Structure 1
Amino acid sequence: MAMKFLFYVSFFLGISTVSFAQQSSVSLDSCIRWAKLNYPLYKQNELYKAQSNVNLKAIQEAWLPKLNFNLQAVYQSEVVQFNIPGFNTNFPHDSYLGALSVEQTVFDGGMSRNQKEIEKISAEIEIQKNEVELYKLVDKVNQLYMGILLAKESIKMFELLQDNLNKRSVNVAVAVSNGMVLANALDEIEVELLIAQQNTIEAKENLNAMYENLSMVTGKKIDQSVELLLVPAGGNQMFMSVMRPENTLFIMQEKLLDERYQLAFNYALPKITVGANGNYGRPGPNFINQNLRFFGSANIGLKWNVSTLYGLNREKQKFDLSKKMIEIQRENLNRNIETTVITFTSQIAALDQMMKLDATILEKKTAISAIAASQFENGKITSTVYLLQLNDELSARMKMKMHEIKRLNAWSNYNATMGLINF
């Protein structure tokens, strides 16, 4: 008969479990936050930020002046010869040049600004992808938390069953000795007692395993000395706005596409630079003067690759198609959320109604079980009939607690689906 209790627990006990030092109680919200902070993937976020800072510095350095230094010595087998009366200049076969040039970009079409924005958004996207992955911990922690609550209640029921059977076996032994009850009735009671003891051992082992798993996931010491509060993750107020991390990711991806298109547009704009050259050597611009000397120049330049304008419309089409793909992903997510939320809201409504009847059902089952116990001890009913009535009473107790925990689970799942959990 005690196997019937396992049926009510088995739905939740097929999950793994986890200890929290020096704290008398914890909430599901706290366990979820601890799990996130303890998960190795969370530590990767800081690396993304550090990597982005390095890349941003590299982009900023593009605005620093470009310096070039050049040394050159040349020997030529032939030089210019002038045969002009009154002009007697012999050009040497060797020439030397030491040059220092500097170039500064004064207008890049806004490309560096776009590159910095793209780098920032790209880093934020990688971090948000981690947030999407980390959000899966909500379901894992929730299962462990609910599993522990159900396991603890099942143990209480098994122990209550043992207590009832122990008390009944004493009375039945007296009834057997008085010839009021058949001897095999005591054997049936003792067998059920042994089965209840077995189930208690199994439930306690499952409970210990779940506590260990919850401790591992959260990085906190959580054991039977810590009370798990019966408060759903995210509270019990229904909100219709979806706040899932995936939606934030979609917004970031659309923003990245906008910046990339703007970069392509700015790439097609002209670029303006200014520069200067300082040289020492010979010959210089005045090639008649063959003495080693200083000379220099300054310049302003405009570069414009007009052909890049040809592909702008094509790039716009590509980015628009990518945005449509993101919108489809958003619609798919919202559709899945809508259908899932309907299930959880229906569960919550049904459980609210069922819980209103639990107390009355338990009261009547307890009264029926008490009458059956008296009848059994007086030999008016068999042990089988009595055990069925006792089982019904304990099942009613288990259902009452199970409805409370299932309602807690339904609220937590609703909030997790809507993205309402403080994560």
Structure 2
Amino acid sequence: MKAIYLFGLFFLTTIFGYTQNTISLNECYEGLKTNYPLVKQRAILEQQKEVELSAIRAKTLPQLNLNAQATYQSDVTEVPLPNTGIEPLNNDQYRATLTANQLIFNGGKIKASQGLQNIITDRKQQEVEVNVYQLKQRVNQLYFSILLIDEQRALLNIREQQLNSKLNEVKSGIKNGVLLPTSDKVIEAELLKIFQQNQEATNNRSKLIASISSLIGLPISVETVFQKPLISINASSELNRPELGLYGLQKQEIQQQQNILSKSLVPELNGFATGGYGNPGLNMLENDFTSYYIVGLKLNWNVFDWNGNKKQRQALDYSKELINNQEEVFKLNTNTALNEQLKEIETLESSIEIDEQLIDLQQEVVNTSESQLKNGIITTSEYITELTKLYEAENLFNQHKTQLELAKANYNTLKGDSK
């Protein structure tokens, strides 16, 4: 029986261990990449590509054309020789034909068109990747805002405990006549303010959780613990943004379009076979319904197009230059933003060092004020003022620490190093 109990306890512990209510920044990134509604376009684009490729491949298969016509002519061809026995054609004539055309050679335009369609799909997929990636900074902002609120709530709880403990001492001092009768009311008012701040922080946290949950497509409860990430940056690595991949694919697409244009100057050879039935047939002197066929080869070659093809390829060269310029501007703007982010990181690191010194100094002041309050040298209000200064210094320290991690996360996102 004891073994069953232990097994059951282990089983429940295992279940709750795997369903612990925590989330990390990387899990938010993965949720964004997997669940954001725009991601659904990836599957649609793949399906669209298969249909387009199938349509292109169909051009290599025999093409069948059915034609039928019935006409009435005001005049017909006659043989102007008497006693030949050749009857004149009927004024009403009928013809039905079925023609099969088979592409034999077109200089590789079909294969080039398939290559272009693959590049177009890759480019559209990369556009989806870019649009989703650009939402990462929004995820960073929401995630670290929640962490900041958690730090604030933790400080408020510590301060509340300190004040509750101090309230008992003050009441004892009032009872013994050491402190003024209203000294406890000052602390109670401060506790009420803390309660109010806690309520506001809790409400703001719920709003932020709802926002990040809808963005990454994952259910997140208000009890969820947001893990503090340990973020490192590499200031020497190259840009790894998906936009750079998009620019590359756009240039590949233009290059492939130029390739197709160059192949359009190559002669196109087709084989054909036509079977027909009509009156008259191929023998115009036979005035009767008959069947017939024609087989042969057909060559199409646009020998001279007034340099239209060349000008189209030159226009595509200008499009490629525009993309190169856009890429250059993107790199410049991104590197400028990275430098600004590095400066912000350095400023925050410096501020944190000063914050630590301020906290140590203010803690000494609070310790002194606490001793003075016990001896009735200062009032409760004066003690609360110093304690509030300590809280503000600690809160600012936490803000700067969280802002530092946010700045690092944004730096990695700007560079393309965030996973």
Flag whether TM exceeds 0.5 (same fold).
yes
The residue correspondences of 1:77-156 to structure 2 (distance < 5 A) are 77-84=74-81, 87-93=84-90, 95-156=93-154
Mapped partners of 1:76, 1:318: distance in 2: 51
Whole-angstrom CA distance in 2 between matches of 1:202 and 1:124:
47
Please tell me the residue identity of whatever aligns with 1:175. Answer: G
User: What is the TM-score normalised by the length of structure 2?
Assistant: 0.86
Alignment of 1:245 with 2:256, yes or no, is: no
Deviations 1:102-155 (A, max 9, x none): 111222233322322222222222222222221232112111111111111111
Q: Give ranges in structure 1 of 5+ residues lacking alignment.
A: 1-20
Task: For 2:30, give the aligned amino acid.
Answer: R
CA drift at 1:81: 3.5
Taking structure 1 as reference, are residues 386 and 297 closer, same or farther at Cα in structure 2, changes over 3 Å only?
same
Q: Deviations over 1:23-63 (max 9, x none)?
A: 34321011122123222111122112212221221122122
Is 1:28–1:232's contact at 8 Å kept on the other side of the alignment? no
- The answer to whether 1:216 aligns with 2:182 is no
Aligned length: 401
Change (3 A) 1:232 1:122: farther
* Paired residue type of 2:416: G
Q: What fraction of aligned residue pairs are identical, expressed as a percent? A: 28
Tell me the SS of whatever aligns to 2:135: helix
TM-score between both structures, scaled by the size of structure 1: 0.85
- Please identify, of 350-359 and 63-72, the stretch whose mean Cα deviation from structure 2 is larger: 350-359
- The one-letter code matched in structure 2 to 1:415 is N
For structure 2, the residue ranges without an aligned partner over 5 or more in a row are 1-17
Structure 1 residues 181 and 263, CA gap change in structure 2 (3 angstroms): same
Matching of residues 2-401 of structure 1 within 5 Å = 22-84=19-81, 87-93=84-90, 95-231=93-229, 236-290=233-287, 292-308=289-305, 310-353=307-350, 355=352, 361-401=358-398
Give the match for residue 7 of structure 1: none
**Partner amino acid for 1:98?**
A
Call closer, same or farther: CA 1:77–1:361 in 2, change over 3 Å.
closer
Structure 2 SS opposite 1:104 = strand
Q: Secondary structure at the match of 1:280?
A: strand
Mapped contact 1:36–1:137 kept (Cα < 8 A): no
Aligned with residue 410 of structure 2, among 388, 392, 413 = 413
Higher RCO (CA 8 Å, separation ≥ 6 residues): 1
d(CA) in 2 for partners of 1:298, 1:68: 14
* Alignment deviations for residues 240-280 of structure 1 (CA, whole Å, 9 cap, x no partner): 21111211111111111111222222223322111122233
Question: Is contact 1:268-1:309 (8 Å) kept?
Answer: no
Q: Helix, strand or coil: the match of 1:183?
A: coil
Aligned-pair RMSD on alpha carbons?
A: 2.6
Cα gap change, 1:52 to 1:309, in 2 (>3 Å): farther
Q: How much has 1:292 moved relative to structure 2?
A: 4.1
